[in-house]
Chains A and B, each alone.
Chain A
Amino acid sequence: MNNILVANEVSKQFGSHIALNKVSLEIPKNSIYGLLGPNGAGKTTLIRIINQIIYPDQGAIYFDGEPLRDQHISMIGYLPEERGLYKSMKVGEQALYLAQLKGLSKSDAKIRLKYWFDRLEIGDWWNKKIQELSKGMAQKIQFIVTVLHEPKLLIFDEPFSGFDPINANLIKDEILQLRDKGTTIIFSTHRMESVEELCEYIALVHKSEKILDGKLSDIKKAYKNNIYKVGLGVQSANGLLEDLKDKFEILSSEYVDDGLQLNFTVQLPSDNTGHFLAHLSGKANVNNFMETIPSANDIFIRTVQSR
């Protein structure tokens, strides 16, 4: 079993509104999986079904090869998009309570909380009330109680909203370390660029349906279009651009740096960069040469448009 979670044609309907329409997913163990799509696409509904907050009308979910059951709850950590804590409860007390809800013993929870509080350098918050903390501070507590019971699967819904960039990076690092320790992580977000670099696998969800999923590198390979960004150092406008335009498909071009740098994008025939670079050698100094890889956002838009 290499998948921690498998969804099989999961459908959910609220009244006349179809929230999920036969969505199937396979989430490999020990990966970071991006569940991407605009607001209202059905991501949160799917996540709630995985957390057994609501139940699918049709279809089934398998956790680690078994049909999803009550006891799997303690193996999942969930940071919801709509998150908060009891405002007038003390930080430590509250963290202990939530940890015990996930099945940890009190003494266990204390030891682990101490570890995490020291790690995130918030040990002196133990007796503070949530309402005395800033939103970013509360988010750290929220993160700790999500991961404290060392779940096999962590689900983050819009994880970085509410964090300042410094803390967002801190949390990002912590998540990567958890992944290295063997945890599978699902990111759900409509801000695709925020998690793209982290995700190994993605699924695109649009209007209650999954429109694309798989390994991100494979998807990018499939969607790449052999367009390259090139920057050349040139002495003057010596007809090089015209020469290139004759021989290659130049999409756009411009001179910068008082005419000493020529930037252009070029569409090359597939897997034939050698020929292009050989043509340039001796004629100009290649300052940069880069394939334009489509972002998840681009892929999403192209997929939606092509349907």
Chain B
Amino acid sequence: MTFLSPILMVGMVVLIVYLTKINDSEKRTIGILNESNYFSTDFQGTESTSFIKFKDIGLEAAKDSIQKMGFYGLLYIPNDKDLEQVVSRSFFYSKDAPGSSILDNLENVFEDRLRMQRLQELGVSVSDFESVDNNFEINTATFSGEQNLKGITEMKAFIGGAFGYLIMMFIIIYGGFVMRSVIEEKTTRIIEVIISSVKPFQLMLGKIIGTSLAGVTQFAIWIISAFIMFGVLILVFDIDPSALNSEAGNAPGLIGGAAYVTASDSAMQLYANELFRIPWIMLICFFVIYFVLGYLIYSSIYAAIGAAVDNETDTQQFIFPIILPLMLAIYVGFFSVFNNPHGPIAVGFSLFPLTSPIVMLMRLPGGIGEGGVPIWEVVVSILLLIITFIGIVWLAAKIYRVGILMYGKKPSYRDLFKWLKY
């Protein structure tokens, strides 16, 4: 499963993309029964749609033959001298409700024709009108002059969110591992055999560190397979790897001209370039740092819970307070950080040790230093994590030491507090 799950995940995405593509590439044939004098040449077939013209048959007969031949639908344009009348009385018949892209295409044809008609009535020539028409998109760039691509901010936020979410999942999954293994040692009664050989603190810490290394290994496997997948994607989508390399080599030092892309580049290439400029190595390093620190804190609590109870069903009341900050971090991340990665809430939660591993990871794709997360915030959050870890592990060890030898009664929070003083 360790190796399979990333492949499965990527496989799912590929499958969905592939299925969507298949869905779109289905060629549709639409019949046109045109009784008017308009639109004789306006409907041109496209990659996904072709048109067949019917002549000299009634509407019902046309409908019948469309159905018999299995065509997608029938566009009926009635006869009238007035174009407005023709358009308003036209109908599209189909077996099921037609897809919106089909209707858009058809409607565009009508709209264009109507616009021309009205322009003529107003005495404006088509070329005049087109020269007036102005499609405007604002140019965006960062202060340092890098051109921004539309949607790249969302993409960065999404990547940050994915990392944050991954940390939460890792903490819950591997923390649960620790907890269950402590409970197992209690229920099989091997615990006293083991702690007559090693100190309870050593056993607890060994368990936590061992599991965290297992988590890092798992992540390393994912990263490696992600790189392989990326290679496959480059081949599939025909992205020019040499362009990527030069971009990656330039970024982020050489900005100015080098970062501008030529018009001949495909959109996919543009986004691929942008993706390559996200500081992946830094992100992965910080992912490991924040995962390990956050995990150490949470799994110490998980270990203490495992020691306090006799079986997994008793853990619910203690688990909830752990899940709460994690959930909070995810929601704060999704709603606050995405909107404003450097707002006060985002900064606060990325410093608070119980939420910082997740929230900070969500902020980091924007980079560290100028324009990104200030260096001092990263340093402070990591220091706070380390201090909290030492404090929590000290408390957890006290509960653990007492709890592993306690059987029977399900402890209350008050009992746990008392154990701290044993």
Residues of A within 8 A of B (CB): 14-15, 48, 51-54, 73-74, 76, 78, 80, 82-87, 98, 101-102, 142, 145
**A145 and B193 contact, CB distance less than 8 A:** yes
**B422 and A80 contact, CB distance less than 8 A:** no
Partner of B190, one of A52, A76, A84: A84
**A83 and B193 contact, CB distance less than 8 A:** yes
Q: Does B418 contact A (CB under 8 A)?
A: yes
- Nearest neighbor of A15 in chain B, beta-carbon distance: B418
**A82 and B195 contact, CB distance less than 8 A:** no
In the complex, chain B residues whose CB is within 8 Å of the CB of A78: 192-193, 196
- Nearest neighbor of B187 in chain A, beta-carbon distance: A84
- Nearest neighbor of A47 in chain B, beta-carbon distance: B196
**A87 and B407 contact, CB distance less than 8 A:** no
In the complex, chain A residues whose CB is within 8 Å of the CB of B194: 98, 101
Partner of A142, one of B193, B198, B422: B193
28 A-B pairs whose Cβ atoms sit less than 8 Å apart in the complex? A14-B422, A15-B422, A51-B196, A53-B192, A53-B196, A53-B200, A53-B405, A54-B401, A73-B197, A74-B197, A76-B196, A78-B192, A80-B189, A80-B192, A80-B193, A82-B192, A83-B190, A83-B192, A84-B189, A84-B193, A86-B184, A86-B185, A86-B190, A87-B188, A98-B197, A101-B198, A102-B197, A142-B193
In the complex, chain A residues whose CB is within 8 Å of the CB of B200: 53
Residues of B within 8 A of A (CB): 184-185, 188-190, 192-200, 401, 405, 407, 418, 421-422
- Nearest neighbor of B422 in chain A, beta-carbon distance: A14
In the complex, chain B residues whose CB is within 8 Å of the CB of A15: 418, 421-422
**A86 and B196 contact, CB distance less than 8 A:** no
Taking A15-B418, A48-B405 as given, write out 11 further A-B residue pairs in contact, using a Cβ cutoff of 8 Å, ordered by the A residue number.
A53-B196, A53-B405, A73-B197, A80-B192, A80-B193, A84-B188, A84-B193, A85-B190, A87-B188, A98-B194, A145-B193
Q: How far apart are the CA atoms of A73 and B195 in the complex, in Å?
A: 10
Chief secondary structure at chain B's binding surface? loop
Q: How far apart are the CA atoms of A76 and B195 in the complex, in Å?
A: 12
Q: How far apart are the CA atoms of A76 and B198 in the complex, in Å?
A: 12
Q: How far apart are the CA atoms of A73 and B199 in the complex, in Å?
A: 10
In the complex, chain A residues whose CB is within 8 Å of the CB of B192: 53, 78, 80, 82-83
Among the interface residues B184, B196, B199, B401, which one has the most CB atoms of the partner chain A within 10 A? B196
List the 5 closest A-B pairs by CB distance, nearest first. A84-B189, A80-B192, A101-B197, A84-B188, A78-B196
Partner of A53, one of B189, B195, B418, B421: B195
Q: How far apart are the CA atoms of A138 and B177 in the complex, in Å?
A: 26
- Nearest neighbor of B401 in chain A, beta-carbon distance: A54
Q: How far apart are the CA atoms of A102 and B421 in the complex, in Å?
A: 30
Partner of B188, one of A14, A51, A52, A86: A86
- Nearest neighbor of B198 in chain A, beta-carbon distance: A101
| Given A15-B422, A53-B405, A73:B196 Cβ within 8 A | yes
In the complex, chain B residues whose CB is within 8 Å of the CB of A84: 188-190, 193
The minimal Cβ–Cβ distance linking B181 to chain A, given in whole angstroms, is 10
Among the interface residues B184, B194, B197, which one has the most CB atoms of the partner chain A within 10 A? B197
The minimal Cβ–Cβ distance linking B234 to chain A, given in whole angstroms, is 44
In the complex, chain A residues whose CB is within 8 Å of the CB of B197: 73-74, 98, 101-102
- Nearest neighbor of A149 in chain B, beta-carbon distance: B197
Q: How far apart are the CA atoms of A82 and B194 in the complex, in Å?
A: 12
| Given A53-B405, A84-B188, A98:B196 Cβ within 8 A | no
**B196 and A80 contact, CB distance less than 8 A:** yes
The minimal Cβ–Cβ distance linking B2 to chain A, given in whole angstroms, is 19
The minimal Cβ–Cβ distance linking B185 to chain A, given in whole angstroms, is 8
| Given A86-B188, A87-B188, A98:B193 Cβ within 8 A | yes
Partner of A85, one of B188, B195, B196: B188
- Nearest neighbor of B188 in chain A, beta-carbon distance: A84
In the complex, chain A residues whose CB is within 8 Å of the CB of B184: 86
In the complex, chain A residues whose CB is within 8 Å of the CB of B188: 84-87
In the complex, chain B residues whose CB is within 8 Å of the CB of A85: 188, 190, 193
The minimal Cβ–Cβ distance linking A139 to chain B, given in whole angstroms, is 12
- Nearest neighbor of A70 in chain B, beta-carbon distance: B199
**A82 and B196 contact, CB distance less than 8 A:** no
In the complex, chain A residues whose CB is within 8 Å of the CB of B190: 83-86
- Nearest neighbor of A142 in chain B, beta-carbon distance: B193
The minimal Cβ–Cβ distance linking B183 to chain A, given in whole angstroms, is 13
